[in-house]
A and B are shown apart, each in its own frame.
Chain A
Amino acid sequence: MTTAVPPSFRLGLKKIYLPDFTVALKRTPFLPPTQATFTVPLWFSKLDLRDYLYNVYKLPISPSIRSYVRQSRLRQGADPSAARPQYKRWHRPRSTKIMTVEMGQGFVWPTGPRTEEDFKSWNKKELKIAKEENAAMQERAGPGGDAVGVGEERRAAMKEQAKALLEGRERWRSGGKEGQGIMFGR
């Protein structure tokens, strides 16, 4: 990795050939445009970030870099992927390191999607409907499902069915074949 513009600082001697970490840029509207914030690995030093940005992105930065480690909140459960909630176990996810650099050239993030029209490509509306449907179904199937009662659509269908039976348009049948229908007791 070579750059045309020579650095105004002394480059470090730490050699990294095939890294497997990521450095992410953060959106910081509360900072001036000449400052940029990155999420870096925990072992990163300020000099590491300076050399990394220079060598990989050809971004020269001023020597003043601010760095802090943000501790994560306590989360319930020992294993995040556990199927059941682990009420008596707690863990703290790994901390994250965040560094803010100052550049000579200002940078402003492009505006992301804002309106519902913008979010059409991300299917935001459909996702919201699906989430609500899913939550309603979970509630009906859950232990408090009896208290939820019967929905409006089902009420209308039952009314229609009862009317058809009374008028003789349909005949009542038991629950189909054996093994189908409602199972009483276990």
Chain B
Amino acid sequence: MAAPMHCSSASLLRTTLLYHSPKPSALPPLFLTPAFAANSQTTSFSTTPRSPARRDGNSSRGTSALRHTGLNKKQRLSVRLSNLPRPVRDPARRSTVEVSKDHPLYAFLPNSESAIDTPEELSAHGRAWTITELRNKDWEDLYRLYWVCVRERNRIATQEAERERIENVPAALGGGEIYGAMEAAMRDKAVKKTMAAIRGTLRERWYAWENARVAAMDDEEVDLYANTENGERAYLPKEDDAGEQAANQVRGLNLGSEDDYRTDPSTLQGPDGGRGANARA
């Protein structure tokens, strides 16, 4: 259909008359005159009521950072351009931060003055601890030494990261390759060796204890379930000679082993409970 479609009946009529009347100048019939009135009432096909344009009370409606609209007239910010703080561009005029001498993070660095050790300082160390030396140490000592090693390795790792940073700085800005990587690796190796020796010592100790426990399970003279806190005795030698046993008791708990001469009798607990040998002596 060539004619455009319109929704109002008035325009429809006008179109019909224009296209289909043989005489374009002919007037419409009298009964159609009201339809050509200027203020004719029309109804749209849509039943949805039309809302007024975007009255949602949003004061920043239409403000968009993407479209560079800027602020509208009603918007006020808490900060003015004149009140904004200005950055200090000159590094000499910037305020310095006071760091206390005992800050815990200094433990990651060689000392509070330098960020990285020289190769000479890095190689100023002795050899690692050996298992033979560490066998004489108790658990507390070994544990303390191990954590000293852990902190030392953290320090070495921090310095290595710092060295890599210096080497990646362009030569024009004062960077470049420097010595010290090998010295740090050797120091790290010595520390790791000490740590391995500590673990080896503890492993030895654990196996010794485990073997003794397994042996004691088969030994009739040993009671593994004895409550030594309450004075029960874990080692109960067989009473094949009552006289010798009595003599042992008098002498102060001589157990008949080769370790007796190294044992202080006053530290041993007797069968009578907590009073021990001291009470008898």
Contact = CB atoms under 8 A, between A and B. Distances in A.
Contacts of A121: 118-120
B166 A33 contact: no
Given A58-B104, A107-B99, A110-B109, A122 B118 contact: yes
A88 interface: no
Interface residues of B, number: 44
30 contacts: A1-B147, A17-B143, A18-B146, A18-B198, A19-B150, A24-B108, A24-B154, A24-B157, A25-B109, A25-B158, A27-B161, A27-B162, A33-B99, A39-B157, A39-B161, A53-B104, A56-B150, A57-B151, A59-B105, A106-B97, A108-B97, A112-B162, A119-B176, A119-B178, A121-B120, A122-B180, A123-B178, A123-B179, A124-B178, A127-B178
A5 to B, nearest CB: 11
Interface residues of A, number: 39
A128 B103 contact: no
Contacts, number: 105
Interface in A109-128: 109-115, 119, 121-124, 127-128
Q: Is the interface of A mostly helix, strand, loop or mixed?
A: loop
B178 A106 contact: no
Interface string B97-121: 1111001110111001111101110
Contacts of B199: 18
Nearest to B98: A106
A115 B175 CA distance: 9
A178 interface: no
Interface of A: 1, 17-20, 22-27, 33, 36, 39, 53, 56-59, 103, 105-115, 119, 121-124, 127-128, 131
B277 interface: no
Interface of B: 96-100, 103-105, 107-109, 112-116, 118-120, 143, 146-147, 150-151, 153-154, 156-158, 160-162, 165-166, 174, 176-180, 195, 198-199, 202
Given A22-B157, A27-B115, A122-B180, A57 B105 contact: yes
Nearest to A121: B118
Most chain B beta carbons < 10 A, residue from A17, A103, A108, A122: A122
A41 to B, nearest CB: 11
Chief secondary structure at chain B's binding surface: helix
Given A57-B105, A124-B177, 13 more contacts: A19-B150, A22-B150, A22-B156, A24-B108, A27-B115, A27-B165, A110-B113, A112-B114, A112-B115, A112-B116, A113-B116, A113-B166, A121-B119
B99 A108 contact: yes
Contacts of A110: 109, 112-115
A97 to B, nearest CB: 14
A20 B157 contact: no
Given A121-B118, A122-B178, A57 B104 contact: yes
4 smallest CB-CB distances across A and B, nearest first, come from A122-B178, A24-B157, A121-B118, A25-B108
A135 B180 CA distance: 21
